[in-house]
């Protein structure tokens, strides 16, 4: 057993943990920070390029965002762009693609036109793409397999070029840690294969046990996906919350179909992304459709059944959970959505059902054009608020005020990584009496 003490310990080496690790070392006077990662490398779970849509979610084409939420997300999205441009990562793991949200049918078309009016001041580059323009820039949205125009009305709102839209967040996580370890005058240790088994408080110090090693820290931030709440519960924190892991699956095309990102109007009752098509930067730009949304009784998707027990411990099943599930399933729209997404995982049926839905984007799509993307998709921790008996939308944190924070970051957690890190860095500095260099931060990532 060894004892390693740090001023700050970050648990979790995904994009959120890597961003916090970077900001603590670069923009504060913290002199020692360590990162503990459960697996053999960074970003093996939800930050991995195959586990998410690789999208910089800035609120321009995400139709479930209010103007206020879009303003907030736009700020953090610009941080991702500024970071990548600062280190010349453009066209390496950050790319610009055409992108748009489409409305299909008179009701959705009217909605998209109204949304454009509401959002055009915040996003001056947005354009309205009428059907004739769509024929030119994204013809697969208009024509069926016989070359006939789709009968429904359709409109797109987006941008043809010039906006950064796509990031491999796994590679970005690697770069954040690599750049952190180049900073002089700060201890920046990284420990792999360091699964945390225990966190205990000893006075003002936290004692962390991981893979047979003991680490101590003045402050701990847990950015461990669905396991953040699991670790919080083990310390007696956040017990008013439960975790419902939602798994997203994807289908990939066998050829290039779309020229850019195409999103659909999202159902206002659902916290999950509507079906969309993205040019996958790991698959030579072939289109990836998804995600589906399936409640999964495990905290990690592709690591066997080792986290099934962790799921039940983190769900903390009781009458409050029953009430939340009952309210969700009593809504016919939500019940249909959940049932259909379950069928998307059933062999033989899944592909045929999915093609029908995806034809709302690409009317000409055929069964042979797509295949189930084995190994793609991750698990997003949707937080259940037991006190108020409702499903929480967006990110959640447990901060007992004792020098430890537990973060759960479903989408757009990757896009918000640097902004969320800024929030936590300020909390760390306030607690430890450290200084945050806001001027330098703003110059690098805001201005």
* CATH number of the domain to which 193 belongs: 3.50.50.60
Q: Give the per-residue pLDDT at 49.
A: 86
Residue 355 belongs to a domain: yes
**What mean pLDDT is predicted for residues 103-131?**
97
- Quick one: DSSP state of residue 350? H
Residue 329 belongs to a domain: yes
**What mean pLDDT is predicted for residues 272-281?**
87
Residue 104 belongs to a domain: no
pLDDT band at 272 (very low <50, low <70, confident <90, very high): low
Cα(20)–Cα(36) distance, integer angstroms: 12
Residue 330 belongs to a domain: yes
Residue 362 belongs to a domain: yes
Quote the tokens at residue 131: 């059907």
pLDDT at 58 > cutoff 50: yes
Weakest mean pLDDT among 241-245, 302-306, 317-321, 404-408: 302-306
Weakest mean pLDDT among 124-128, 175-179, 288-292: 288-292
pLDDT in tens, 207-236: 999 999 999 999 999 999 889 999 999 999
In Å, the largest CA–CA distance within the chain is 72
pLDDT at 292 > cutoff 80: yes
- Quick one: DSSP state of residue 269? T
Residue 143 belongs to a domain: no
Cα(45)–Cα(48) distance, integer angstroms: 6
Looking at mean pLDDT, say which of 32-36, 61-65, 413-417 comes out highest.
Answer: 32-36
The sign of the dihedral angle between the CA atoms of 280, 283, 288, 294 is negative
Residue 274 belongs to a domain: yes
Range of the domain at 290: 3-98+161-445
Residues 316/233, Cβ–Cβ less than 8 Å? yes
94 phi/psi in degrees, rounded to 5: -120, 130
Residue 12 belongs to a domain: yes
Tally of domains within the chain: 1
Cα(269)–Cα(290) distance, integer angstroms: 18
């Amino acid at each position: 057993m060894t004892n390693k003490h740090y001023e700050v310990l970050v648990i979790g080496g995904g994009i959120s943990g890597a961003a916090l690790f970077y900001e603590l070392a670069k923009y504060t006077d913290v002199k020692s920070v360590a990162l503990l990662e459960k697996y053999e490398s960074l970003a093996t779970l939800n930050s991995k390029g195959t586990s998410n849509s690789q999208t910089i979610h800035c609120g321009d084409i995400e139709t479930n965002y209010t103007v206020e939420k879009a303003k907030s997300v736009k700020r953090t999205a610009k941080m991702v762009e500024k970071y990548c441009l600062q280190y010349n990562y453009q066209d390496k793991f950050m790319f610009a693609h055409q992108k748009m949200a489409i409305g299909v049918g008179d009701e959705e078309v009217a909605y998209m036109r109204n949304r454009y009016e509401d959002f055009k001041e915040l996003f001056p580059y947005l354009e309205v793409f009428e059907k004739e323009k769509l024929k030119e820039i994204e013809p697969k949205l208009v024509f069926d397999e016989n070359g006939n125009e789709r009968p429904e009305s359709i409109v797109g709102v987006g941008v043809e070029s010039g906006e950064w839209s796509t990031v491999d967040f796994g590679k970005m996580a690697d770069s954040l840690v690599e750049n952190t370890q180049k900073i002089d005058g700060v201890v920046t240790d990284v420990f792999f294969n360091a699964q945390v088994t225990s966190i205990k408080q000893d006075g003002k110090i936290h004692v962390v046990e991981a893979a047979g090693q003991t680490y101590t820290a003045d402050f701990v931030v847990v950015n461990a996906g669905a396991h953040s709440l699991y670790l919080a519960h083990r310390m007696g924190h956040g017990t008013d919350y439960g975790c419902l892991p939602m798994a997203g699956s994807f289908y990939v095309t066998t050829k290039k179909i779309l020229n850019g990102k195409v999103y659909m109007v999202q159902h206002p009752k659902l916290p999950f992304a509507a079906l969309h098509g993205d040019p996958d930067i790991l698959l030579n730009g072939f289109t990836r459709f998804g995600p589906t949304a399936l409640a999964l009784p495990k905290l990690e998707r592709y690591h066997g059944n080792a986290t099934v027990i962790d799921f039940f411990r983190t769900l903390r099943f009781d009458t409050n959970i029953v009430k939340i599930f009952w309210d969700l399933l009593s809504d016919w729209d939500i019940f249909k959505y959940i049932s259909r997404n379950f069928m998307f995982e059933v062999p033989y049926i899944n592909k045929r059902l999915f093609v029908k839905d995806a034809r709302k984007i690409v009317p000409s799509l055929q069964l042979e054009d797509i295949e189930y993307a084995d190994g793609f998709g991750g698990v997003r921790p949707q937080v259940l608020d037991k006190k108020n008996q409702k499903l929480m939308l967006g990110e959640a944190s447990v901060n007992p005020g004792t020098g430890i924070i537990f973060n759960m970051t479903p989408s757009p957690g990757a896009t918000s990584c640097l902004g969320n890190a800024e929030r936590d860095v300020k909390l760390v500095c306030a607690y430890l009496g450290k200084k945050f260099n806001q001027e330098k931060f703003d110059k690098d990532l805001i201005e």
